[in-house]
Amino acid sequence: MFRTITSSFLLAIFAGAVYAHGNVVPSAVDVEGLPPLEEWGEENPYRDAEGETREKIIETGQRGYGQNCVNCHGLEAVSGGIAPDLRMLEPGFDDQYFITMVREGGKGMPSFEEMMEPESVWAIKTWLETKYEDAMAEKYGN
């Protein structure tokens, strides 16, 4: 009990320090049921998952996005202009760029390396990929 209070207190202070200019509080994503990953890697390891595993990955990714990315990158990943539209990242081709940005951050983009696990980040990417084709069609026509 005491430990729980202490660590959430510390997390609140830490989050306050890092995100003093935004209302972003990073939160851990429950990745239970996802195939475990030993390392970050450079390519989406979940892309070819099928069946229930794939459903679980996508559901986790949607939740993880809602917990950590939605404030800046927009509802349903449709950018409101503050940050880039993540639906447009090409599956495969942009994987390495995606994972580097999430781990290291950028201008106005926090680094998530210490706050998230590879499982939740690649789950988010897998969820984003379900929107790629529609987003491209929306932007460039069929």
Residues of this chain that interact with ligand HEC (CB under 6 A) are 22, 24, 68-69, 71-73, 83-84, 86, 98, 101-102, 106-110, 112, 124
What is the Cα–Cα distance from 63 to 69, expressed in whole angstroms? 10
DSSP assignment, residue 88? G
Shortest distance, position 71 Cβ to ligand HEC, whole Å: 5
- Closest to ligand HEC by CB, 54 or 109: 109
State the Cα angle at 124 between 122 and 130, rounded to 5°: 105
Q: Where are the alpha helices (DSSP H) in the chain?
A: 2-18, 51-68, 70-73, 95-104, 118-129, 132-140
What is the Cα–Cα distance from 67 to 7, expressed in whole angstroms? 18
Shortest distance, position 82 Cβ to ligand HEC, whole Å: 6
Shortest distance, position 1 Cβ to ligand HEC, whole Å: 30
Shortest distance, position 67 Cβ to ligand HEC, whole Å: 8
Q: How many CA atoms lie within 13 A of 128 on its CB side?
A: 29
- Closest to ligand HEC by CB, 69 or 135: 69
Instruction: Give the pair of three-digit tokens for residue 86.
Output: 């993540």
- Closest to ligand HEC by CB, 56 or 73: 73
